[in-house]
């Protein structure tokens, strides 16, 4: 029996595939390679290039493979793009998940772990955020992820499928072996953007807003290492395989860092001065997002290994230094 990883050529998906294979699991990856990279797929995983909106292709896969559970990363994930092109998010994230669930129900595959996000909360009422706190997304990306959670709930009631939604905070870092890391085009995430400066790809980093109600005026986020996120998916899948009920878990370190603190840490890690310039606020950015992940620790037994931001950024730097063009050659 194999685990099907949809979006297994993307950033968090590819790291989860590496952890699954290290744990001795059989893995099938499906990805349309629109934002993922074939080179990020572990050589021991079986690979299908397909789009989850293609029901025929999914049906063929479920007929050909013995799948015991699905881990679903295949989605669009840029907050800014979701505001300028919301229908792309409804199509890829919601329609895609609808087609996937149709095919799973038809083929009797009834366990799914999937990527949700801190963006489901919107502007939090308090930090650290608990899973039971109000969900009121402030962007279309978060809205589609919250709707995906609801869709799973209704399909669960009707067809007995069970799901775990993992609400990630700020994923960063790279595989400790240096084999794979973070690569987006265009890049919008803070840590890889900062590291483009010592890599000679940009001359400074912009700080989006210095007038937030935080200790130094810049936004506070909870940065969590990608392999710790990957481990949580394996634990969540095992929880479902052991009969666990539908559930939602936050995944973060529970410690907030400001944008300026992240830049300072990257300066210390890289030994580069990394010039920074204050720029206007980016639309839709909440001032603070920090997770309580106590529930994942208590129920899943999750123990993040990387609780130190400098170590997390060091793993990212090792990857970016050796792969200045990401997975592209040259």
Interacting residue ranges for ligand UFG, rule: CB under 6 A: 77, 79, 117-119, 141-142, 170, 188-190, 193, 205-208, 219, 221, 259, 282, 285, 289
Question: Minimum distance between the CB of residue 187 and ligand UFG, rounded to whole angstroms?
Answer: 9
Question: Minimum distance between the CB of residue 62 and ligand UFG, rounded to whole angstroms?
Answer: 28
Dihedral of the CA atoms 233, 235, 237, 243 (nearest 10)? -150
- d(CA 99, CA 313) in angstroms, rounded, equals 37
Write out the two tokens for 39: 């080179």
Active-site hit among 121, 141, 223, 306: 141
Closest to ligand UFG by CB, 76 vs 103, is 76
Whether residue 182 contacts residue 230, with contact meaning beta carbons closer than 8 Å, is answered with no
- d(CA 156, CA 152) in angstroms, rounded, equals 6
Q: Tell me if residue 141 is catalytic.
A: yes
Closest to ligand UFG by CB, 21 vs 287, is 287
Question: Minimum distance between the CB of residue 11 and ligand UFG, rounded to whole angstroms?
Answer: 10
- d(CA 7, CA 28) in angstroms, rounded, equals 11
Closest to ligand UFG by CB, 94 vs 105, is 94
Sign of the C-alpha dihedral computed for residues 130, 131, 135 and 139 taken in this order? positive
Question: Minimum distance between the CB of residue 50 and ligand UFG, rounded to whole angstroms?
Answer: 23
> DSSP per residue over 199-222, as a string?
TTS-S-EEEE-S-SSSTTSS-EE-
CA atoms within 13 A of residue 146's CA, in its CB half-sphere:
16
- d(CA 177, CA 180) in angstroms, rounded, equals 8
Write out the two tokens for 132: 């039971």
Which DSSP category does 38 fall into? G
- d(CA 165, CA 131) in angstroms, rounded, equals 11
Closest to ligand UFG by CB, 28 vs 219, is 219
Closest to ligand UFG by CB, 100 vs 119, is 119
The residue nearest ligand UFG at its CB is 219
Question: Minimum distance between the CB of residue 157 and ligand UFG, rounded to whole angstroms?
Answer: 27
Residues taking part in catalysis: 141
């Amino acid at each position: 029996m194999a685990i099907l990883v949809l979006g297994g050529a993307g950033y968090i998906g590819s790291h989860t595939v590496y952890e699954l294979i290290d744990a001795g699991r059989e893995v099938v990856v499906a990805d349309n390679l629109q934002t993922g990279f074939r080179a990020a797929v572990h050589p021991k995983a079986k690979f299908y290039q397909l789009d989850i909106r293609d029901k025929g292709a999914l049906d063929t896969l479920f007929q050909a493979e013995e799948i015991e559970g699905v881990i679903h990363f295949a989605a669009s994930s840029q907050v800014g793009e979701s505001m300028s092109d919301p229908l792309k998010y409804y199509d890829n994230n919601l329609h895609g998940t609808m087609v996937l669930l149709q095919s799973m129900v038809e083929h009797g595959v009834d366990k799914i772990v999937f990527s949700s996000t801190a963006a489901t909360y919107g502007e939090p009422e308090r930090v650290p955020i608990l899973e039971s706190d109000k969900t009121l997304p402030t962007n279309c990306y978060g809205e589609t992820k919250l709707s995906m959670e609801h869709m799973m709930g209704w399909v669960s009631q009707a067809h007995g499928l069970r799901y775990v939604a993992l609400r990630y905070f700020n994923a960063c870092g790279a595989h400790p072996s240096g084999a794979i890391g973070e690569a987006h085009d265009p890049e919008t995430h803070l840590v890889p953007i900062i590291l483009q400066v010592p890599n000679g790809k940009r001359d400074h980093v912009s700080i989006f807003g210095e007038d937030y109600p935080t200790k130094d005026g810049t936004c506070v986020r909870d940065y969590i290492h990608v392999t710790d996120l990957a481990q949580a998916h394996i634990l969540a899948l095992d929880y479902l395989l052991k009969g666990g009920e539908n559930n939602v878990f936050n995944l973060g370190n529970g410690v907030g860092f400001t944008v300026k603190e992240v830049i300072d840490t990257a300066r210390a890690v890289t030994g580069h001065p990394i010039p920074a310039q204050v720029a206007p606020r980016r639309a839709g950015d909440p001032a603070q997002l920090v997770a309580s992940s106590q529930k994942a620790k208590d129920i899943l037994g999750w123990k993040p290994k990387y609780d130190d931001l400098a170590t997390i950024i060091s793993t990212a730097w090792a990857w970016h230094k050796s792969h200045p063009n990401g997975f592209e050659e040259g």
